[in-house]
A and B are shown apart, each in its own frame.
Chain A
Amino acid sequence: MSKVSPKAEEILESLWIATVEGDDVGFLLSDCILSPEDLQEGIDELVKLAYVEVKGDRVYLRREGRPEAEMTVRRHRLAERLMMDILDIQGAEGNEQACAFEHLLHQGVDTKICTLLNHPTTCPHGKPIPPGTCCEEARKQGSPGIVPLTELKSGEMGEIAYLAASDGKKMQKLMSMGVLPGSELQLSQTFPSYIFKVGHSQFAVDDMLAREIFIRRPTK
């Protein structure tokens, strides 16, 4: 799949939001926030790919362009989720970061982030995130890739994906004990407390903490 430029992606994104999610037929070129030169460049690129067509002041999304536009929107909203949920960057800065970030989510990075975020269906603003192939596969498998420790069965193994950062001190403690993203973990008991092994050491945590340790299940 040929990669379109960031400018073209911005145009596709706006088109998708206006025409597929909104009721507009096409998109007024004068509504676009890009500078006229950038806009022209982007449009030229997309026209060459036959993703859009321009009629007068209005640009239309063609059938051929739909998959690409859908994925562009998907990348943007995944980026928003990542910024706001995991990295806890809120508000305008979060939006800004997400806008810059979405253009980097190519070549499977979007799949990884989607898996990391446990295949979210909506963005932080409540708009739907178009599902990718990874979401379909996870749905078929019935087991999402990344789950909190509480969802694992005893005896199950996995890799620590990330620690949710609700309480800094406790996370620090876990990290200093060696419970770090990337380490292999094996759960051995779930009641009355969660007992797991990392390396040659065993740890016990309560369910409040277990809920904040996220595990990537091994792909079968």
Chain B
Amino acid sequence: MSALATYSAQFERYANALTAAERAPRSVQFSRFLDSGFPHKDLEDWRYSDLTALNERSFEPDVSASDDALPDLLLDGADTLVYVNGQVHPASTAARWHSDTCALPPPAVGIDALNAAFAAGGLRLRLDRGTRLDRPLQVLFCSRSDGQPTMSHQRHLIELGDDAEATVLLDFSGIGGERLSTHFFDIHLGRNAKLQLYRIQNEAAGGTLVTRIDARLSRDARLDGVTVDLGGGFVRHDLDLSLAESGAEATIAGLYAHARQSHIDNHVRIVHAAPHGTSRMNYRGLVDEKTKAVFNGKVVVQPGAQKTDSEQRIANVLLSRKAEVNAKPDLEIYADDVKCAHGATVGQLDAVALSYLRSRGIDHDTARAMLLRAFALQILDRIEWPALRARVETALHLPAELTLDIDA
């Protein structure tokens, strides 16, 4: 197996520094990774996203770059936990939510196994019953590499006790260079817990970012998620929600826009495992230049999950001849007393609307930007954190006069 040789060498070096007890489970994961390699097109879940090119690559482990100056990404009014290439940065105000260790999953395959083999700790947010996080928590993952390609792998945990509440922003912002980062999040929401989760991805081209969020919702728990992709090289994001007990509710909104040469793959899976669950999935994409967008939504209603109410909407605007959209809104339903709907569209900006604006003396670029913003608004309106919303709108390069209404 020469293809993955450099990973083997890295793992050997890494494992030698561990105790025997620490090493054993990681060796199992690593050998599973060696067996499967990086995911390829023949796997249904990776049909449009092929990572086999990484088999031949070689990544050095990250060296600490903690003292570097941070880009201006920290949001006002939030507590911050900052990782630069996987290391906690001294600018963090909420370092108490960091943990050096992490729990490993059962033996996995592919990139999940790679992550588990090398995984370092990361965010560990645990809230007791009835506690509420006063300020939103911004977890910034900053990555950069100069020269030699590097990789980092982290595992994170968010655990909210019954009736607990929190607002968390997972902020992935790369500065450049060739990197491979994987981040796996486990989220547990207790009864009636509420989590407002934002995920913003604005990596530089050239990097590979694989993230997965697994969340389990207890009775009457509520997860509101907003995910925004604004760039990146190869980005694969999995969001796996299980409405495990009755009355749980999940609302997920997503936007991918403004990427130039990115490969953006979103896989969202919502499993209704108990009755009276509600889920909403609303994704919108503005796909331009040479970007390839992949969206796979899946709603599974398990036997007995009666009175499920679920809706999936995916809308895309294709803006360039070199761009590509692959959307697949799946439904798997094993119960009969349910309300499930899904819809997917791909189209272009309305020529009539464009010409209407032009006839009112608005120049083409502004008119186009207005329509693009109108299209994205459904998702942008879900960002209830003004500073964050302003940052997203700025990143979208929407003309200033169009964004004035934010604070109004």
Q: Do A and B bind each other?
A: no
